[in-house]
Structure 1
């Protein structure tokens, strides 16, 4: 068959896009440029595409040479030890990969990369220059890696990011990447970026400035607040959570009158996290009018009278008037009032009792769940450890987490208000009493590496589950956490769990082999983490 070539003409602007459009629509609906309709049209389209491809690759017009980029800045930090540099290359080269449900015994290197980066940054090392492209690619694909990856990459990573549009995120989020003012002398540059920058650049600027100079960030936001879009105002307002303090109250009070309901709700939430704010006092008065202690019975009992209406003042202070489907209006309003009221106000209101004594009081007429759940939210919002402790209760109690901990997510949030040691001890006690079936979310809020008591509790519970012939895949999430969070020193204690156990008659088929494989992977990962730490510590930072 003789091929009919399309006429070769001077390339027109947008010629390639025209060819792509024709290919997508089909030559029966659109005639190729320079061709004719009919059976030869597809061949003409391919010929035209071939010609245009050559032009795109080789048809450069003479032009003045571009300026050479400035040399990469010096990085004064010490280089990685050779073994640690090789480890970084291996971690960056790893790709998720095992098909099917079983992972085998090999460690998941990509899940270890965040720990490795944190440890390398703690030592003060600089990334090897040859590793920067892979490091930036990894950070591009995983936003959780970006802060640590860019810290390790340092000024050279930012220099390199300016040469590749795919790495432009580094210029918005990296320290010194052009979005973060480094000192008072950069005020003009920061203001210009705030007024002219892209949305992501403005968010990064406000967030970084808020962490360093909260008042300056708030004042910068105030300069354009009235002209911002509602969705942008909401994002900007959320940045005030960092460094939130009494000086933010006047700005937030003004935001209570914002035309956007979401902005008003966020402003109210932030003000309720300031126990000394006027909004907190208003909420305390409203909530206090609904809750009291009744002494007419033998046992003092909390009595609740839910609000009968949601007035304009309540709406302005962030109370959402319309209840979700399935919720009563009065209980919905009460919960919002109580969670926004300062927890310290309840001691005087309820007879000078402590948080633990208040939580222990019976509550009349089935209001206990709503009241305690609201106190839980208030304890998390106000970072109130004594109230969180009281609401959690004893970890070994049948209703662990206290009456107000209505979900595992609430328990995890309450634990977040405690210090790392107390948090780990509570979760260890919970696991010892209740096993691992409900512990995954609780383990996620514990500091890494896990404390010795917590690590022992997890290993003992896994061993019990294995010996009981439990369905092994139910614990894969906890196993994954253990690989990343268990202290590497615990590897020696696990050697006795590597053998395939005898399977009971009622055990899941193949469970013994899975457990042995999972424990082998756990031990291998712990020893790898130990080796990583030794490699990073093999040269001391001066």
Structure 2
């Protein structure tokens, strides 16, 4: 072994098991005559460090390796109170980390709307904050200006990173997509699905036979973005794939296309199972599907198990999720709401229908189902204004526990309307509202509209032993106060 290798071995296992080597004669090192093995090892480690550092040569840069000069910034710089407030947030924040992040993002949005940019001296701390806070990073442009983008490019080059979208695009342009690693190839397909769905479809279809089953399934799963009728041909091809993971992915995607050929086939399987009975009191009876034939198996209907009883309810679920929802209105001769009423007590069937309506964002069925039940996944399909109105109704009716509304409240655009804000504050300040306040702590300051700041101050003035609730209300007041200062600074 070389001297360095011997030295590393001794350091790793200890001098009792591997004595420290003698330094090479060409180094001209003369260790003390009276020296323990441990001292010899440490001295030689220091010597090795000096030798390695001294032998390292500086990297030579040609003109191509030098950073290009910063271009001029023609956008006017934010000045006065606006610049002072950003400096305060970045260097001596008067609020906690979460509020600071919200307020820096607000500053960037206001600067972009006002047509001004970040002062150059504040670009380094701002880009450092953006490196750890995605909500700041997504609002950097155009507020950082031309030189901000220049500096951002230098920093990303130094750290070996680049903008995700541009990086994928450049990587795909530089190399053949088929040569990319599995995750990078999937990311490129996903990017194309968002920007050019037809290109993603052509790309995947052209390489389909040369991909592993795992890759085919992963790439195909990205088709949830901008899924449409033009994707049906490739999905039908995937139904014949040898790999179950690919077939299952294709079937799940086709569940989202109610006008597809597979949906029509599922409707043909569902209709014979539905029968409207009763004279005065109508009820929709639902039969169970028979053992699937080859065509049903291809469409994803579960096969007969090798042992035990077949799960015929699972087959029914699969057929319901694949069939068009108007199969139910055709069978009953009624609209969605009356059809749902005929299914009272059919919990599993209603669950499958709700899942289908949410997956397809079928607003007629979503609204009808919401009258019968409250489900966040259904609520998420509605336009923001309608979602907010329904949440207000839910809070006032106490039909659903407030904790069930946390996720829908988080998903709403901010700030909320005054009516919703008032109802949420009322729930938070109720006897057992402290836990709800904590669950909404991360969004409440930015979610409350400016007119709610006064109500928060009044609530804070009341005596309250719940420290967590007081902290949430105090954060809301601080945020609204600083946010008002930002608004005035840019006006």
| TM-score, with structure 1 as normaliser | 0.75
CA distance in 1, matches of 2:310, 2:117: 58
- Picking from 346, 353, 357, the partner of 1:375 is 353
- Map residues 439-518 of structure 1 onto 2, 5 A cutoff: 439-463=405-429, 465=430, 468=431, 470=432, 472-501=434-463, 510-511=465-466, 513-518=467-472
1:50 aligns with 2:46: yes
Name the structure 1 match of 2:332.
350
Name the structure 2 match of 1:164.
158
How many residues end up aligned between the 2 structures?
A: 471
Q: CA shift at 1:340, angstroms?
A: 2.2
Q: Secondary structure at the match of 1:501?
A: coil
CA distance in 2, matches of 1:194, 1:151: 31
1:281 aligns with 2:264: yes
- Map residues 76-91 of structure 1 onto 2, 5 A cutoff: 79-81=77-79, 83-85=81-83, 87-88=85-86, 91=89
1:519 aligns with 2:489: no
Maintained 8 Å contact 1:499/1:516: no
CA distance in 2, matches of 1:320, 1:85: 63
1:300 aligns with 2:282: yes
Name the structure 2 match of 1:507.
none
Q: Deviations over 1:194-240 (max 9, x none)?
A: 24445554444333333332211221222323333444333322322
CA distance in 2, matches of 1:85, 1:229: 54
Name the structure 1 match of 2:342.
361
1:428 aligns with 2:417: no
Q: CA shift at 1:497, angstroms?
A: 0.8
Q: Deviations over 1:401-443 (max 9, x none)?
A: x34x5xxxxx111111111110000011111222623321221
RMSD: 3.8
Name the structure 1 match of 2:317.
335
Q: Deviations over 1:170-204 (max 9, x none)?
A: 34x14xx34337xxxxxx96373524445554444
CA distance in 2, matches of 1:106, 1:134: 14
Q: Deviations over 1:295-324 (max 9, x none)?
A: x3531112122224355434432345599x
Maintained 8 Å contact 1:92/1:110: no
- Picking from 371, 376, 398, the partner of 1:412 is 376
Question: Over alpha carbons, which structure has the higher Rg?
Answer: 2
Q: CA shift at 1:369, angstroms?
A: 1.0
Change (3 A) 1:304 1:436: same
Q: CA shift at 1:378, angstroms?
A: 0.7
1:225 aligns with 2:208: yes
- Picking from 204, 212, 218, the partner of 2:195 is 212
Q: CA shift at 1:266, angstroms?
A: 2.0
Maintained 8 Å contact 2:418/2:449: yes
Change (3 A) 1:210 1:197: same
Maintained 8 Å contact 2:101/2:133: no
Unaligned runs of 5+ in 1: 1-8, 98-103, 182-187, 394-401, 406-410, 503-509
CA distance in 2, matches of 1:62, 1:222: 48
1:391 aligns with 2:384: no
Q: Secondary structure at the match of 1:333?
A: helix
Maintained 8 Å contact 1:94/1:109: no
Change (3 A) 1:413 1:494: same
Change (3 A) 1:250 1:500: same
CA distance in 2, matches of 1:81, 1:279: 61
- Picking from 51, 57, 67, the partner of 1:69 is 67
| TM-score, with structure 2 as normaliser | 0.81
Q: CA shift at 1:387, angstroms?
A: 0.7
- Picking from 460, 479, 484, the partner of 1:530 is 484
Name the structure 1 match of 2:404.
438
CA distance in 2, matches of 1:439, 1:156: 43
Q: CA shift at 1:22, angstroms?
A: 5.3
